[in-house]
Structure 1
Amino acid sequence: MSDITLAGDGSTSSDPVKKASSPSSSSSSNAKPARLDAEGIKKEISQLNSSPDGLSSATAKSLLEKYGPNAIEAKEDSRWKKLLGYFWGPIPWMIEIAALISLARQDWPDFIVITGLLLYNAAVGFWQDNKAASALAALKKGLALKAHAKRDGKLQTIDAAELVPGDVVTVSGGEILPADLLLIDGAYLSVDQAALTGESLPVSKMVGDSGYSGSIARQGSMTGIVTSTGNNTFFGRTAKLVASAGAKSHAEQAVLRIGDFLIILAAILALILVGTQLYKDIVVQGHWAWSEAGDIAQFVLVLLIASVPVAMPAVMSVTMALGALALSKQKAIVSRLSAIEELAGVDVLCSDKTGTLTQNHLTVDSAIPFDPKTTPDEVILGAALACQPESTDAIDQAVLSALKDKKSLDGFKQVSFTPFDPVNKKTLAVVQDASQKQTSYAKGAPQVIATLCGISETSSDDPRSTAYFGKVSELASHGTRALGVARSDDGGKTWDLLGLLALLDPPRPDAKETIAQARALGLSVKMVTGDDVAIGSEISRQLGLGTHLLVADQVFPKDTDNNHIPIDAARAVEAADGFGRVFPENKYQIVKALQERNHIVAMTGDGVNDAPALKQAECGIAVSGATDAARSAAALILTAPGLSTIVNAIEEARAIFERITSYVYYRIAMTICIMFVVVLSYLVFGVRPLTAIMIVVLALLDDIPIMTIAYDNVKIAKKPVRWDMHRIIIFSSLMGLMALAQSFGLVLISMYWMNNAELMHVFALDLSHLQTMLFLQLAAGGHLLLFVVRNRNSVFKPPFPSLPLLLAVIGTQIVAVFICAFGIFVPAISWELIGVVWVYVLVWMVIIDIVKLIYFSVVDKREKQSENLTKAIA
């Protein structure tokens, strides 16, 4: 028995939809397809220019040329084009210009370091982009490799890729359906299409029904005519959605905007520098020589290296990679690094029901006897006797598992058994007990069992009818599948009603708690299921999700543009608790609708049908046991069952996000500081306080150890966090100006010292000393600035830096001190000057920390006033 009816409607489980008839159609209707009658089947065969005997080889060959092979074909950019794309854009341009200038001037250390970072950034991005190709490859594995088709009136085994619309094929239990079919002959076929539609049970097919490419035949055998092949199949359209899905991550957008901000700033400063130099050369000094162009180019090179955060993409990637390692210990494998920061900002979690929120294991929820002398255990025993002992059918296994005493079947011998079929909708078994007495048992659709027992649904005077169908309606209202059970002691002439079994795919034990935890983290959780709304609503109620579930095809009209969701549909999606009768296009549309409402979306799933939505979502999550297609499309793959891992992953992701934003604050602030101190020193004093190699070494000293920020101690946010560029730029600029005051203050003091004869008599100081002192101040002050910006509290309050980060900073500062003391890459300075610089930066750390606390105090006060005003208006 492969399917039963939902209590109260007498119909089988809802089928997914596809456009049958037109093989060239690329879109599908979202209405439930009606079963075609004999006339409809004839019309369909005629439209396909075929017959029940199939096609001739010549016709099949011409159709193959017309429609192409029965295979998934998705147009994607070549790998070379994708690779070159990582060298195109504002930040790559600036890095490339800096590399070209250093090459022209033969500054080999600068050229090697800058080019190495550029190549590393491109390699990381290119590796991530290849995930889409993996998703399509996994989808293709799901297609049948061979097919049994009638060609020239004979049944032949051919490659599935050679099938064309109009081919007549046979499909038997255990085989994958090779294309979209209209079933035209045969008694019965049970098809498992859960991976395509999310339905929790195999679907019973009859003549006139449709079958879908990629689904698996479990029982029976039927003949069908091919209606669609390749990309035009239900399966193929899912693959096309996977190929086209995907959104640029918020981290990528943030890096681009940060780069734009710094580049514009650098361009303005470069114009000021060049203009000032030309004014001095032409107007003040009255002459110009091309040899001086090299000096200007070198100065612009210094500014470019200082302005472009060449290491930012690399540090962010490595930081997220270290975070991915931490997530792997939480049983969550990251397949796309950007998913880490996306997961931190997720505010809507779309969760597939079957196998994700539920156990994907049908169980007997309760037994309801309808005979005063019958106990619930006897109802279950009667249903078990109407099963085949070794059956792999989901319902039979649920019934047999419900037996309290498995040995209770030992006293019976099965004499005969009539399996379930979609016409009779019941199973019959004749069993013999130890006294040789034979008894018949039946189980099946409630309406069929009622008729068998002489109970009429339309009889209002029969108390049995009222009680029985009242209970059936009650179970239906709770979304529970009902199974009727009856017994006959006279060889099937008369039947006695034993009762009903309520069948349910129960929620996972940890699902309710996990959902509560997700909500505590500020997430809205929405159920997405291919089952009927009634079933979804009951599970949703049990899990505390709410019962406002919508029918997906009523939200999205069949002509909905997947890339432009109507505003009314988007608002309905935003307000709903979940969705029933969802098709692959709908899952994709749900994610798109939420994204258009400015939500960051996580989508969980395990089947082929989930792949497009998993790839489109900012964070697609393939749950434990997911198909290869779902795993390849997802950004996060769970290796442990249940959803509790997601909550752990979200908390870990938010911690990683805090670490990344701390680095971004620090990097922007230091970049602003270095650019302005170079320009101001030149404009005010006519000196170049840093050389190009100093800035390159600074970049290495600052950023390589900072990768250990992935292990830093942070305070995890209670709400979703996302990139707020307005706040990032303002706070980073404020910290950058404070760092500039610190650095330029050192230049001022040094220039004053060098122009004061009495001070120079005490200790001689020259421009080379100033450059090294400023180099050390930027190296030490930069890391101390990181300690200031890494949390909103005072630098002297927890959370304190982690041991790996602290050791990395200490080690870096020791290296910086030795570089300055022994004159490696920079002019050497005395230990006394090194000590002076360190006292100077420590004092400034306290000053900057106080400014930070004042800033956040003002910001928090304004936010609280804004929230109170919003509440008052509401």
Structure 2
Amino acid sequence: MIDMESTKENEEELNQGIDLEKAPVPEVLQTLAVDPKVGLSQLEAAQRLEKYGPNALTEKVQSFWSKLMHHFMGPIAYMIEAAALVSAIIGHWDDFIIILALLLFNVTIEMIQDRKANSALTALKQGLAPEATVLRDGEFSSIPASELVPGDIVKIRLGMIVPADMRLVEGDYVSIDQAALTGESLPVTKGVGAEAYSGSVVKQGEMLGVVTATGSQTFFGRTAKLVANAGVQSHAQKAMFQIGNFLIVVAVILATIMVAFRVYRDIFVTGGWGMTEALNILQFVLVLLVASIPVAMPTVFSITLALGAIELSKEKAIVSKLAAIEEMAGVDILCSDKTGTLTKNELSLDEPILIKAHDAQECIIAGALASKLENKDAIDLTIISAVKDPEKLKAWTLDKFIPFDPITKRTEGRLHNAQGDQLWVSKGAPQVIVELVHPPKAEADKIMKLVDDLANKGYRALGVAESKDEGKTWEYLGVLPMFDPPRDDSAATIKAAQANGVSVKMITGDDTAIAIETARQLGMGTNILNASEFFPKDMDPDHVPAKLAEVIERADGFARVFPEHKYAIVKVLQKRGHIVAMTGDGVNDAPALKQADCGVAVADATDAARGAADLILTAPGLSVIETAIKEARQIFERITSYTVYRVALTITIMFLVVLSSIIFNFQPLTAIMIVIMSLLDDIPIMAIAYDNTSVSPRPIRWKMAKILSVSTILGFFAVIQSVALLYMGHHALIQPDAFSWLHVTSFGQLQTIMFLQLVAGGHLLLFITRQSKWFFEKPYPSSILFWSIMATQVVAILMCYFGWLVPAISITTIVVVWGYNLIWMFVLGFVRIASEKYLDNRTKRQRKHVEMVNEKLK
């Protein structure tokens, strides 16, 4: 977490209540107590460095051991640890080793994922300038940027990274690329009085600036603070906590009942109580604890998601956080950056609007002659590339070039050709070119109306003029409309997302008019809000007022946004019950990317954006998002199928252990049997990642009430199935003539029968839970899942027949148990369909009732 409190008070003291970002430059210099011709003294700079701290992002580092201990916490982890402790107390070291190995395996997977958590902040730190040219004691020198302090006079020039937030105090102009910070698609030309943000890049010009903020108080630092504080627990993590809590409650209740019954029987019925009886009870508690733990659930979740990540990588999408795949399945709002994501981030020249020019090329050539290729300016390059015959440019020799600056707001070129003809050309802001040409009022009004119309359509307009008498008289040739065009696949991607129930909101640093026109062209809503006007300046992005939140939810998009705006928008939507995906490519997107349920860094994103994102696209555009949504929904279906199966099976085992103890005074399974059974049941289930599933047309979420209800109902009937078989086997031992077809001759064999019934029945239960229809209907199980299960069943049969780790039983008994399970498969299939139908109908009735009540209240 960024440590800002210590410097914040010092900054406020230095500012003396003055807004250094907006106050006049002389007032800023006076407040900071610095002469722009001399700079700070070395002594004063050292004192300020001591007082305000280094110009760097500081971080509170959590120790490795603290992080490690965190992974041993949580419902499922506590259950596994309790089982390991009990097994150690009673000396069951084989159980202890297996249980501990599973716990360490789960922790290792979580630690590997956790290593990526702070990469966004690391990338942000790397984005800071390493050195700065500073004026101290009247002389310029180069120092580490981390030693800058508020009040330092710093020189910035072409190619430099701005080392701190500053106000420009001297020089003609600088053109600064701050797209990574603000999302603006073009470099911004700035003059005296303007702000320059730390981390932005100087593209043209040279100026002096006075440092107004350093380290964590800069625009860059505030972004880093948002990144450090951003993040949300995944819905899969919440689901596992809920499942763990549910199973803990059930296990505690059953353990209490079982212990109370055993103590009562030992004391009041058999009349004896001692260490032997206590250890026997503890052993039963151990079996119950092991039975209650879905030990492989975190692993199955991780591996299933990992296999999904491999599939997405084939579509040029790299998953950096596995939980993001599951989150994508429930995404109902996609907040998309505009520049470079929905658009090409390439200026495109539309058909020129002619005033005096005879044709479009005449106007374009004049604009190109008023440009300079070496400057690598995006606007200049666009105009020059639009010239159809480059030889016409070579016919003129440039005598003098006057670059753009924020005062004149135009460029000018003075040229001559081989015949000695003189030509002066200029391009710039249309109103400035009007002032240069001085056309008749009617013509001037016509030009300005054209410009207004272009602005309303989201175009950037440039006026072009020429003079053939050394600038004495000028002609207005025309207006060049420029636009960052949408990507070819953006409209189709948005349409596909909307068809899948996902609303798309545009979020951009560009002007509102540009955002609206882009949205119109892409078939999106055009209710675009200007965030810089809409959000209060001092608003806490973590606590947005309710009325503001309502407007955010209804809006189709936002323009003129800053990092805290993007972050606040995502957080507001999450608080209002939405699952949000966010796309972006710049430093300004990093906080929102990390806060989103699924942050998506698009192709060519900055390291900070990639570090904060959960999903990184390596191909341009968003077309892979549609694939990711479909893949995520299939994976989600597989995970929920597994969850229903695993909870139902866990409930079955727990109730079987307790009921057997109470009714028959018999332990139906050993702890090692339960662990082996869990492995035999869950290892092939990992192939569920390849299973054939239907794709939901709408976003899907964890409906824990429904999942746990269906699981409990299925578990209840599966308990009847298992207890009935146990009863028959137990009765066959007491009365050999009863149920003789089971061929059971010892309690050890009865334990093996229950072991086989649960291993086989568990996998048959998965075929029931993998879809809401009958198990024999399409989509059929994938071949890899089916044959993985079959292979496991062969292993289980061989174990039971040859007596590997369990007492051996006959092939006849094995066939009987399998036939018994197959009959119950149809019973449980009917129970699954009936229970889901009942729960869905009840939900619909409740929803209709709520709607009726709300309607009456209106």
Provide the TM-score with structure 1 as the length reference.
0.94
Q: Is residue 624 of structure 2 the alignment partner of residue 645 of structure 1?
A: yes
From 299, 303, 306, the counterpart of 1:318:
303
State the shift of 1:319 in Å.
Answer: 1.2
State the shift of 1:129 in Å.
Answer: 2.4
From 615, 625, 634, the counterpart of 1:655:
634
- For residues 764 and 535 of structure 1, do their structure 2 counterparts lie closer, same or farther at Cα, with a shift above 3 Å needed? closer
Partner of 1:411: 395
Q: Is residue 202 of structure 2 the alignment partner of residue 217 of structure 1?
A: yes
Partner of 1:845: 825
- Supply the AA of the counterpart residue of 1:101: V
State the shift of 1:434 in Å.
Answer: 4.7
- For residues 405 and 106 of structure 1, do their structure 2 counterparts lie closer, same or farther at Cα, with a shift above 3 Å needed? farther
Partner of 1:376: 360
- Supply the AA of the counterpart residue of 2:524: L
From 26, 34, 43, the counterpart of 1:42:
26
- For residues 764 and 117 of structure 1, do their structure 2 counterparts lie closer, same or farther at Cα, with a shift above 3 Å needed? closer
2-structure distance, mates of 1:434, 1:21: 64
Q: Is residue 517 of structure 2 the alignment partner of residue 538 of structure 1?
A: yes
Q: Secondary structure at the match of 2:117?
A: helix
From 538, 554, 560, the counterpart of 1:575:
554
- Supply the AA of the counterpart residue of 1:157: S
1-structure distance, mates of 2:8, 2:681: 64
1-structure distance, mates of 2:782, 2:576: 38
From 424, 432, 438, the counterpart of 2:422:
438
Partner of 1:335: 320
- Supply the AA of the counterpart residue of 2:212: T
State the shift of 1:485 in Å.
Answer: 0.8
- For residues 761 and 722 of structure 1, do their structure 2 counterparts lie closer, same or farther at Cα, with a shift above 3 Å needed? closer
- For residues 761 and 860 of structure 1, do their structure 2 counterparts lie closer, same or farther at Cα, with a shift above 3 Å needed? closer
> Which stretch shows the higher mean deviation, 470-479 or 547-556?
547-556
- Supply the AA of the counterpart residue of 1:155: F
State the shift of 1:479 in Å.
Answer: 1.7
Partner of 2:214: 229
> Which stretch shows the higher mean deviation, 169-178 or 83-92?
83-92
2-structure distance, mates of 1:697, 1:298: 17
- For residues 764 and 265 of structure 1, do their structure 2 counterparts lie closer, same or farther at Cα, with a shift above 3 Å needed? closer
Partner of 1:610: 589
Partner of 2:470: 491
State the shift of 1:439 in Å.
Answer: 1.8
State the shift of 1:114 in Å.
Answer: 1.0
From 795, 802, 805, the counterpart of 2:775:
795
1-structure distance, mates of 2:20, 2:498: 38
Partner of 1:24: 11
Q: Check the 8 A contact 2:732/2:740 in 1, yes or no.
A: no
Partner of 1:7: none
- For residues 106 and 477 of structure 1, do their structure 2 counterparts lie closer, same or farther at Cα, with a shift above 3 Å needed? same
2-structure distance, mates of 1:860, 1:581: 44
Partner of 2:161: 176
From 729, 738, 763, the counterpart of 1:783:
763
Partner of 1:627: 606
1-structure distance, mates of 2:390, 2:323: 51
**Alpha carbon RMSD of aligned pairs, Å?**
2.1
- Supply the AA of the counterpart residue of 2:203: R
State the shift of 1:80 in Å.
Answer: 2.0
State the shift of 1:761 in Å.
Answer: 6.7
Partner of 2:4: none
CA deviation string 1:246-273 (max 9, x = no partner): 1111111110110000000000000011
Partner of 2:193: 208
Q: Check the 8 A contact 2:159/2:203 in 1, yes or no.
A: yes
- For residues 166 and 22 of structure 1, do their structure 2 counterparts lie closer, same or farther at Cα, with a shift above 3 Å needed? farther
Give the total of aligned pairs: 844
From 450, 456, 460, the counterpart of 1:471:
450
Q: Is residue 128 of structure 2 the alignment partner of residue 135 of structure 1?
A: no
Q: Check the 8 A contact 2:262/2:662 in 1, yes or no.
A: no
State the shift of 1:734 in Å.
Answer: 1.3
Partner of 2:3: none
2-structure distance, mates of 1:291, 1:753: 29
Partner of 1:671: 650
Q: Is residue 337 of structure 2 the alignment partner of residue 352 of structure 1?
A: yes
Aligned ranges for residues 819-858 of structure 1 at < 5 Å? 819-858=799-838
Q: Secondary structure at the match of 2:62?
A: coil
Gaps of 5+ in 2: 1-6
1-structure distance, mates of 2:822, 2:389: 76
Partner of 1:241: 226
- Supply the AA of the counterpart residue of 1:536: A
From 779, 795, 798, the counterpart of 1:818:
798
1-structure distance, mates of 2:109, 2:744: 49
Aligned ranges for residues 177-326 of structure 1 at < 5 Å? 177-326=162-311
- Supply the AA of the counterpart residue of 1:43: E
> Which stretch shows the higher mean deviation, 501-510 or 309-318?
309-318
- Supply the AA of the counterpart residue of 2:558: F
- For residues 33 and 199 of structure 1, do their structure 2 counterparts lie closer, same or farther at Cα, with a shift above 3 Å needed? farther
Aligned ranges for residues 387-398 of structure 1 at < 5 Å? 387-398=371-382
State the shift of 1:544 in Å.
Answer: 1.2
- For residues 320 and 801 of structure 1, do their structure 2 counterparts lie closer, same or farther at Cα, with a shift above 3 Å needed? same
Q: Is residue 139 of structure 2 the alignment partner of residue 154 of structure 1?
A: yes
Partner of 1:13: none
State the shift of 1:540 in Å.
Answer: 1.0
- Supply the AA of the counterpart residue of 1:57: Q
CA deviation string 1:641-680 (max 9, x = no partner): 0000111111111111111111111110000000011111
Give the share of equivalent positions with the same residue, in percent.
52
1-structure distance, mates of 2:231, 2:65: 20
1-structure distance, mates of 2:44, 2:117: 36
Q: Is residue 697 of structure 2 the alignment partner of residue 718 of structure 1?
A: yes
Q: Check the 8 A contact 2:744/2:750 in 1, yes or no.
A: no
> Which stretch shows the higher mean deviation, 85-94 or 166-175?
85-94
Q: Is residue 578 of structure 2 the alignment partner of residue 599 of structure 1?
A: yes
State the shift of 1:418 in Å.
Answer: 1.6
- For residues 690 and 27 of structure 1, do their structure 2 counterparts lie closer, same or farther at Cα, with a shift above 3 Å needed? farther
- Supply the AA of the counterpart residue of 2:689: A
1-structure distance, mates of 2:215, 2:624: 37
CA deviation string 1:675-699 (max 9, x = no partner): 0111111211221111111101001
Q: Secondary structure at the match of 1:236?
A: helix
State the shift of 1:213 in Å.
Answer: 0.6
State the shift of 1:121 in Å.
Answer: 1.7
> Which stretch shows the higher mean deviation, 840-849 or 554-563?
554-563
2-structure distance, mates of 1:563, 1:423: 39
State the shift of 1:865 in Å.
Answer: 5.3
- For residues 442 and 809 of structure 1, do their structure 2 counterparts lie closer, same or farther at Cα, with a shift above 3 Å needed? same
1-structure distance, mates of 2:396, 2:313: 51
- Supply the AA of the counterpart residue of 1:410: K
1-structure distance, mates of 2:534, 2:95: 58
- Supply the AA of the counterpart residue of 2:215: G
Q: Check the 8 A contact 1:446/1:472 in 2, yes or no.
A: yes
1-structure distance, mates of 2:171, 2:666: 91
CA deviation string 1:179-232 (max 9, x = no partner): 111111111111110000001111111111111111111111111111111001
State the shift of 1:441 in Å.
Answer: 1.4
Q: Check the 8 A contact 1:347/1:720 in 2, yes or no.
A: yes
Q: Check the 8 A contact 2:306/2:322 in 1, yes or no.
A: yes
State the shift of 1:54 in Å.
Answer: 1.0
CA deviation string 1:483-532 (max 9, x = no partner): 00111121111111111011101111111110001111111110101111
State the shift of 1:403 in Å.
Answer: 2.1
Q: Is residue 727 of structure 2 the alignment partner of residue 748 of structure 1?
A: yes
2-structure distance, mates of 1:841, 1:799: 22
Q: Check the 8 A contact 1:26/1:231 in 2, yes or no.
A: no
Q: Secondary structure at the match of 1:366?
A: coil
Q: Secondary structure at the match of 1:359?
A: coil
Q: Check the 8 A contact 1:76/1:243 in 2, yes or no.
A: no
State the shift of 1:541 in Å.
Answer: 1.0
- Supply the AA of the counterpart residue of 1:24: E
CA deviation string 1:696-746 (max 9, x = no partner): 100110111111111111111111111111111111111111221221121
CA deviation string 1:515-567 (max 9, x = no partner): 00111111111010111111111111111111101121343322322222211
CA deviation string 1:608-654 (max 9, x = no partner): 01111111111111000000000001111001100001111111111
Q: Check the 8 A contact 2:204/2:375 in 1, yes or no.
A: no
Q: Check the 8 A contact 2:801/2:809 in 1, yes or no.
A: yes
